[in-house]
Amino acid sequence: MKFGGTSVGSAQRIKDLVKLTVNPTPKIVVLSAMSGTTNKLVEICEALYSKETEKSKQLINELKEKYKKEISELYSKENSLSKAKELIENHFNYLQAFTLDMFTANEEKAILAQGELLSTALFHYYLEEFGVSSVLLPALNFMRLDTNDEPDMAYIETYLSEELKKFPNENLFITQGYICRNSFGEIDNLKRGGSDYTASIVGAAIRSPEIQIWTDIDGMHNNDPRVVNKTHPISKLSFDEAAELAYFGAKILHPTCILPAKKRNIPVRLKNTMQPEAAGTLIDNVSTQEGVKAVAAKDGITAITVRSDRMLLAYGFLRAVFEIFERYKTPIDMITTSEVAVSLTIDNNKNLEAIIKELKEIAQVEIDENQSIICIVGQLPKGKSGYGYKVLEALKDVPLRMVSYGGSANNISVLVDGSLKKEALQALNKGLFNY
């Protein structure tokens, strides 16, 4: 069971977790940092990098005061409150120490780990206050990345198993999402949204019968509820459908979360902490009904068109183009081709300048930034009429930059200018779902 930042975002939310986690079913509970904590820790790191000592001290004190307020509301017994106060003093003294010394990238990872370490300990203390037996399971004892910065599943399975064997009579374990160690043993993390990934990795490692991701929305919706007025939760998705939606913008689920569960064929259930009675969304390996299930959008996309007469009837040209992106470890999302040009999209502009420089050595290059990929997902059998027509008909008044269809039986993607995203999502809601 993974609970996100809003699910542990206040003293009351932490109290509410008891109703969901304390029962006879054996479980590992993965917690994110309290909402707002990681953002504040990032601000602290930025101030430390900039050597703004007074600003960093102020930010640390502001976050400390937030936690002091929450624990005063969380605990009713003096012993629990005293332990929580000591915990907070230790963690924030640790943060203040960085204002007195040099600050490096490795230390930034250690600072960002503090939010999850705090939330898990505070929940553990709260359970202790009411006599509920639980074990605080340090993620840093078993979560590890390999030399390619990917989860080292063999290591994780071995050491997680060893940790669990220490407590044969316990059935409630609490551990940190997001944080881990790298191949050198240093504190690292699974990047933002990584608590979902932690839950999926842990679930896969113990061969859990189910992985539950608890957030503040009742399942994955058929469209973005922040942009369109009428949406509904989807009761069931295949792993492939869910992976497409997560990658192309559905915020409820981190894209990396699907793969470990899919490999071990473990169902993933998305649930709402605020409405636990809601059915949510079940993701598993069973094929779902044919048709469009949902629409998602991914912002911050850059479209690159590479044009060259040498491409006409030439072999090896596309390989030369793609090798440039490979050298800079920049994934490509969409691709369309013509006789003399290829258009593609990326969502990471870190090495864009260097990539463009190399591309210009072999072709003419055009760039369109601030684009959005709109992804239409479902069971859409290739070669069957109707689906492409419905999508393009719904978008007839929206200018399209690119269209990708046929690469997957689960996805039709279009690229639009970012300013047109809302219009495109609303048009698809009306044309595909009659809302």
Residue 341 lies in a domain: no
Q: Which residues of the chain have a pLDDT value below 50?
A: none
Residue 12 lies in a domain: yes
pTM over 0.75, yes/no: yes
CATH of the domain at 11: 3.40.1160.10
Q: What is the pLDDT of residue 313?
A: 53
Q: What is the pLDDT of residue 199?
A: 96
Cα separation values, 114 from 40, 93, 177, Å: 11, 12, 11
pLDDT for 339-365, tens place per residue?
788 999 999 999 999 999 999 998 999
Residue 167 lies in a domain: yes
In terms of residue numbers, what domain contains 22?
2-208
Residue 227 lies in a domain: no
Backbone angles phi, psi at 28, to 5 degrees: -110, 125
Q: What is the pLDDT of residue 216?
A: 86
Residue 52 lies in a domain: yes
Q: What is the pLDDT of residue 28?
A: 98
Cα distance between residue 52 and residue 47, in whole Å? 5
Q: What is the pLDDT of residue 311?
A: 62
- For the four alpha carbons of 114, 116, 117 and 119, in that order, the dihedral sign comes to positive
Residue 81 lies in a domain: yes
Residue 28 lies in a domain: yes
**Cα–Cα nearest to 328, from 297, 306, 350, 309:** 350
Question: Quick one: angle between helices 53-74 and 78-97, nearest 10?
Answer: 170
**Which residues is 176 bridged to in the sheet?**
31
Residue 107 lies in a domain: yes
Cα distance between residue 323 and residue 312, in whole Å? 19
- For the four alpha carbons of 233, 251, 294 and 393, in that order, the dihedral sign comes to positive
- Residue 402, Cα to own-chain centre: how many angstroms? 26
Cα distance between residue 99 and residue 94, in whole Å? 10
Q: What is the pLDDT of residue 314?
A: 66
Domain count, the chain: 1
Cα distance between residue 30 and residue 202, in whole Å? 9
Length of the chain: 435
Q: Strand 135-137 relative to strand 2-3: parallel, antiparallel, unpaired?
A: unpaired
